[in-house]
Structure formats: structure tokens, C-alpha cells
Chains A and B, each alone.
Chain A
Amino acid sequence: MSEPPMVSFENVTKRYGSLTVLDGLNLTISRGEKVAIIGPSGSGKTTVLRMLMTLETIDGGVIRVEGEPLTHTERQGRLVPANLAHIRKVRAKIGMVFQSFNLFPHMTALHNCMEAPVKVLGLSRAEAEARAADLLEMVGLSNRRDYYPSQLSGGQQQRVAIARALAMRPRVMLFDEVTSALDPELVGEVLQVIRKLGEEHDLTMLMVTHQMGFAREFADRVCFFYEGRICEEGEPKAFFQNPQNERSRQFLRAVLEAG
């Protein structure tokens, strides 16, 4: 039997009241794959990441991480809601970077990256500090390790947030519009870090992005969401050059016009 996919959404449904945000989503992501999720706002793309990070509950279907149900356990062949210990065990494989950084404002860059490794993984402070220092170097912020978030630019904060997530050694990284809150001149430095991450590590990445150029050159696959469904998906080159679906064409035209 072949190894299970890194992440799979099986017939996942999400509703807010009477509004169906995701309607029977099926999406399989293999180990090391880089998937860009694009689409107009309100199409449910951010919800996909938030469900996988367990920030949103799901109303139907199941999400699996390396074959293991994320918020369920199998009992006598049936899926029942899992306890927090199970969720935390599976969730440990996933890291997330947010649009609004969400760094802890009362901790320095270094301490932001040390908190979870010490408190969750049980690393000693020295081990955690070494790991945090390495990661801050990787994102090019060695000289800012003792700065507080408010003393850093948006781009620097987002790079610290990436280092902080990586310090937990996740298998899957989720990027939720990570450049949308940045001034245009700061977008590049964050994208460069993500690019480097993709080249140097065998990380599985899921990113919701509006940076079409980046999605095109970086992703292995593009999923275009429209009204809670994947409307079209495929290799970036083919998708951007020759979108098959009318909605995708409209969307790309609108985005390209906006520049």
C-alpha cells in the first residue's frame, strides 16, 4: 500500500448559519507539494487553512493528516469526535502564518520563537534558544533577535512569525495571505523567505495568496476557489496561460488588470 497523502480533505463542508462556505470539498495534497489557493474573497479559501489548523470546526466530512483524522478518531470503523489530546497530537504536524502576523507583543523576536518549543515540545531553554537563533538567521533577522514586534517593520514581523512557526518543526506550513497586510516594498523579503524555505526543506505548503506571479513560479499546483468549491485546479503554467473555466478567466483578467 502506498503511503497516505500528507493532507486530505474528504467531502468537507463548512457552514456559518445558513451560509455554506465550503460545499463538499475534496482536496488531496502529497508530501512536499506546494499548493497555491486563489480565488475571489468570500470563496472559502482562508477557511480551508483555518479548518486544517483547527481554528474552525467542520460541519461534515473529515480532514486527514498523514492518513489520521484530524478532529476525529476511528472507533469500531466509525468516526467520532476526538479529544483534545488527539487533536493536539495531529495538530503538531501543522504550522501557520497569519495575515496579521499575530506575534506576541510582550516577547522579543527570540522569545516569540522559543515559547512553544519550551512549553510544548519540552526543549530546554538553551536548546530552544539555539533553534530560534538558527531560524532567525535563516529569515535574515539575527541582528533583531532582541527586538520587540513593535520595533520591527511589517516584513520583519512576518519573517519572525515564519521562524516562530518553523521552530515547532511542522510537516505542513499554512500561509494565509501573509503579504496582504504589508507595504508593497516589504512583500519581496517575505516571499523570498518562503521561496528559500521551499528550496531547502521538504515542507508541504499550502498558501492562500493574491500574489499571482509568486503562485505561478513557486507552486506545484494552483487551486482556484469559487463559491465554496474548487472551480479549477492544475499546474500553474497551464492554469495561468490557458484557464479552462469561465470563472477562472474572469478572475485572472480582473486580477491582472488591477496589476
Chain B
Amino acid sequence: MWDWAFTLEILPALARAAVITVEVTILGFLIALTLGLALAVCRIALPWTRLPISLLVELIRSTPLLIQIFFLYFVGPSFGLTLDAMTTGVLAVGVHYATYCSEVYRAGFESVPRGQWEASVALNLGRATTLRDVIIPQAIPPVVPALGNYLVALFKETPLLSAIAVLELMQTAKIIGSQTFRYTEPITLVGLFFLAMSLVSAWAIRRVEAGINRRYRR
């Protein structure tokens, strides 16, 4: 049933693919974190952006990620947007999760008491300074766990990129399987890798949380 020699043989290829998976996750999550914050801040600072952003967020959250990936990769070129598979994947995953993150940030902003805004007005702080120095440092610590959940969720959705042939773990396992007609080892290893990485990231998030709590929450 389980062939250890075969396992050893395919391990290097899977390890290379694992690096791609982690790359997609990190780059995608960086986009999600920064774009999500930008969307949330725009909604607060520029009232006229509220409606278009809500529409965009609703549109992206209400359609499957797989369709967005396909759309960007196969329909994008007819609008002059030609990107390689890896870039497409990172962008699609990043933008998709940015909409979720923006809602998380929004909840964080709403948790900051109104008195903090009022004190900032009374001290004549500018809008940008108020956001940067007063509001954001208080809005983010409480939502770190929620953001961490989305990191793990994003990570677990990266196999969708196999649909546009990004050589991440799932795609690599499928290729190995179709070439050798052995699926047990590659697919199991992929599953184990995701399990291990999810546990590691959950642990890392708890560490970050604890650090932030020490620094900000008093």
C-alpha cells in the first residue's frame, strides 16, 4: 500500500512545490493585509469611497475564489491584462482575502471608543496623524486573531491555484500521480504538509498575539 522508496523519490519535488505554496501564501497575505487596511481606512477617511468599496467587497466575497482566479487568468488577457500563472494566483488570492480583512479591520476601527477621536480633535491632531498614531494602534491588536484565521484559511485555499497550473503542492502531486499512477503517497504527503503548516502558523499567530498584547493592550 505505502511505498517508502517512492515516497523518498518524490519528496524533493514536493519540497520545491511546498516552497511555492508558502510563497503564494506569504505574498498573498501581505497583499490581503495592506490592501484590506487601505480599503478600511478609505472607508473612514473618504466618505465618497464608501459605496464603491462596499460594492467591490460584496462582489468579491459573493463569488467563488476559483472563478475569480479563472477570470483573471483566462479573461484578463482580452482586457489587455496578461499575467503569468504565479502572479495571477497571488493577486487573486490577495485581493480576495483583502476584502475579508477589510471587514475585520472595520470591526477593529469600530471598537475604538469615540472619545479617542474626540480627544484627537481637541488636541488639533490632523486626520492622518489621528489614524496613524491614535486609532490604528488601538484598532489592530484586538483583531489579530481574526486576521490570523484568514492567514490559515488563505493558506488552505492555495491548492485552487493548481487550476491554472501554478506548480504549488497540489499541482505537483497531481502531476506525480498522473505520471506514476500512484496517488496515495503524494496526496497524503500534501495533506500532512498542510496539517503541519496550519499548526505551525496557528502557533505563530498566538505568539504574535501575545507579543502585541504585551505591547499595546493595557
Task: Name A residues whose Cβ lies closer than 8 Å to a Cβ of B.
Answer: 53-55, 88, 91-92, 94-96, 98, 100, 102-106, 115-116, 119-120, 148-151, 164-165, 168
Evaluate contact between B115 and A165: CB separation under 8 angstroms: no
Evaluate contact between A53 and B123: CB separation under 8 angstroms: no
B116 interface hit (Cβ, 8 Å): yes
Cβ-closest chain A residue relative to B134: A104
B188 interface hit (Cβ, 8 Å): no
Write out the residue numbers on chain B whose beta carbons fall within 8 Å of the beta carbon of A98. Answer: 115, 118-119, 122
Q: How far is the CA of A120 from the CA of B126 in the complex (A)?
A: 8
Evaluate contact between B123 and A165: CB separation under 8 angstroms: yes
CB distance from A180 to the nearest CB of B (A): 14
Evaluate contact between B124 and A150: CB separation under 8 angstroms: no
Q: How far is the CA of A91 from the CA of B124 in the complex (A)?
A: 7
Cβ-closest chain B residue relative to A54: B121
Evaluate contact between B116 and A102: CB separation under 8 angstroms: yes
Write out the residue numbers on chain A whose beta carbons fall within 8 Å of the beta carbon of B119. Answer: 98, 102-104
Query: Given A102-B115, A102-B116, A106-B218, do A53 and B129 touch, yes or no (CB 8 Å)?
Result: no
For B218, give its contact among A54, A105, A120 (CB under 8 Å): A105
Q: Render B104-117 as a binary contact track against A, CB cut-off 8 A, 1 for contact.
A: 00000000010110
Write out the residue numbers on chain B whose beta carbons fall within 8 Å of the beta carbon of A105. Answer: 138, 218
CB distance from A31 to the nearest CB of B (A): 21
Evaluate contact between B122 and A96: CB separation under 8 angstroms: yes
Number of A-B contacts (CB under 8 A): 63
Would you list which residues of chain B between 61 and 107 have a CB under 8 Å from chain A?
none
Q: Is the interface of B mostly helix, strand, loop or mixed?
A: helix
B137 interface hit (Cβ, 8 Å): yes
Q: How far is the CA of A98 from the CA of B137 in the complex (A)?
A: 21
Q: How far is the CA of A168 from the CA of B122 in the complex (A)?
A: 10
B133 interface hit (Cβ, 8 Å): yes
Evaluate contact between A88 and B124: CB separation under 8 angstroms: yes
Closest 3 CB pairs of A and B: A116-B123, A102-B119, A102-B115
B13 interface hit (Cβ, 8 Å): no
CB distance from A192 to the nearest CB of B (A): 22
CB distance from A27 to the nearest CB of B (A): 20
Evaluate contact between A100 and B129: CB separation under 8 angstroms: no
What are 16 sample pairs from A and B whose C-beta atoms fall under 8 A apart?
A53-B122, A54-B121, A91-B121, A98-B115, A102-B116, A102-B119, A104-B133, A105-B218, A116-B124, A119-B129, A119-B133, A120-B123, A120-B129, A164-B123, A165-B123, A168-B124
Q: How far is the CA of A168 from the CA of B124 in the complex (A)?
A: 9
Evaluate contact between B118 and A55: CB separation under 8 angstroms: yes
Would you list which residues of chain B between 110 and 153 have a CB under 8 Å from chain A?
113, 115-116, 118-119, 121-126, 129, 133-134, 137-138
Evaluate contact between A115 and B116: CB separation under 8 angstroms: no
Query: Given A104-B134, A148-B218, A150-B218, do A120 and B124 touch, yes or no (CB 8 Å)?
Result: yes
7 new A-B contacts at CB < 8 Å, known A92-B124, A102-B115, A119-B126:
A94-B122, A102-B118, A104-B134, A106-B138, A119-B125, A150-B218, A151-B218
